[in-house]
Amino acid sequence: MNIEQIGPVGAEITDIDLSITDRIPAEAIKEAFLKYSVLVFKNQELSPKDLKNVSLVWGEPLIHPVFKGMEDYPEIIKIKNLGEKYHTNAHWHSDVTFEEEPPNATLLYSIEIPDTGGDTLFSNQYLAYEDLSESYKEYLDNKVAIHSNLGVLILAGGEAKDAKEVEHPIFRTHPETGRKALYVTEAFVKQIKDVESEISQETLSKLYKHSSDKNYVYRHKWTKGDLVVWDNRCVLHYAEHGYGDQNRTMHRITTAGSKPF
Ligand code: SIN
């Protein structure tokens, strides 16, 4: 297995066949994951069963709380092109932060790729945190953000009355590396708790802009058979559209996480 860094976040791993389950070097992969936060494995042939097996390197596969998974593999969501208007992942986010214990890792495997567009961007939130001014770090240090699942719920045909909110720190400490990362997502954060609404929105807008600064970003251009795995505890991602009505099909699975602190 060879590992090569590919940008401000991420590394490509070559010389590995993830479909041979009993030959997966899980410890070395986990070490690389903690170091680079996004791992790219190209030219993989993974059935849904293989993908589920590979996900065990990162932990217990989860069933998405809102979107329905595949019939035989409820942990795997099939992401398909529903058109630009319904492209729900075209915003910077970390997955499922509206849960008390958001998933640690997401695995995204490409089945069908359009000729153009459909890139996924990843942003390093350790760097985003580290680059904040000391006064900003101090001001936001013990503050928490309120995350809501309202948008996702409505999208999935649910009702606003069933929406729920959770609180997570704005600066999250990675439980395994001990490093701090900026942890706000435009899609799910409603406001900063105990901060006047206008100031909260102003502060969040600044943080959103900062968190996706190009100096922190790796852009992944997909080819069929790529598996990309990212660490939701310290990485934001953004799924670009730009492929009209061409097909783009992905299999996605997330693994169990813990309460952010
Ligand atoms: C996601 O946001 O979880 C999916 C990203 C993508 O489809 O590129």
Q: What is the CATH number of the domain that holds 96?
A: 3.60.130.10
Calculate mean pLDDT across residues 38-54.
98
> Quick one: pLDDT at residue 122?
98
Domain containing residue 231: 2-254
Helix (H, G, I), strand (E, B) or coil at 23: helix
Model confidence at 61: pLDDT above 90? yes
Instruction: Ligand 1 pocket test: pick from 226, 237, 255 the residue with the most ligand atoms within 8 Å of its Cβ.
Output: 237
Residue 219 is predicted with a pLDDT of 98
10: left (phi over 0), alpha (psi -120 to 50) or beta: left
Q: Which residue has the least CA distance to atom 1 on ligand 1? A: 89
Q: Looking at the predicted structure, is the pLDDT value of residue 48 above 80?
A: yes
Per-residue model confidence as pLDDT tens digits over 207-246: 999 999 999 999 999 999 999 999 999 999 999 999 999 9
**Residue 157: inside a domain:** yes
Q: What is the pLDDT of residue 138?
A: 97
The pLDDT assigned to 107 comes to 98
> Whose alpha carbon is nearest atom 6 of ligand 1?
239
Distance 225 CA to ligand 1 centre (A): 15
Question: What value does the mean pLDDT take over residues 249-254?
Answer: 98
Task: Indicate the top mutation candidate among 91, 92, 120, 122 to test ligand 1's pocket, ranked by most ligand atoms within 8 A of CB.
Answer: 120
End-to-end CA distance of the chain: 33
Residue 206: inside a domain: yes
Give me the percent of the chain exceeding a pLDDT of 70.
Answer: 100
Query: Which residue out of 78, 82, 252, 255 has the highest number of ligand 1 atoms within 8 Å of its CB and is therefore the one to mutate?
Result: 252
Asked whether the predicted pLDDT for residue 85 surpasses 80, the reply is no
Do the domain assignments include residue 187? Answer: yes
Q: Looking at the chain, which runs of residues are DSSP E strands?
A: 2-5, 11-14, 38-41, 77-79, 105-112, 120-124, 144-148, 165-169, 171-173, 180-182, 189-192, 217-220, 227-231, 235-239, 249-254
Query: Is beta strand 11-14 parallel, antiparallel or unpaired with respect to 38-41?
Result: parallel
Residue 89: the pLDDT is 81
Can you give the pLDDT at residue 250? Answer: 97
Does 22 or 75 have the greater pLDDT score? 75
| pLDDT digit string, tens, across residues 182-206 | 999 998 999 999 999 999 999 999 9
Q: Which of 86, 106, 104 is nearest to 250 (CA)?
A: 106
Q: How many domains does the chain contain in total? A: 1
Three-state DSSP at 48 gives helix
* Band (57; pLDDT cuts 50, 70, 90): very high
Q: In which band, very low, low, confident or very high, does the pLDDT at 113 lie, cut at 50, 70 and 90?
A: very high
pLDDT at 152 over 90: no
Q: Which atom of ligand 1 is nearest to the CA of 239?
A: 8
226 Cβ closer than 6 Å to some ligand 1 atom: no
120 CA to centre of ligand 1 in angstroms: 7
Distance CA 13, CA 39 (A): 7
Torsion of CA 255, 230, 101, 172, to 10 degrees: 150
48 is a domain residue: yes
Examine residue 261 and state whether it is found in any structural domain, yes or no: no
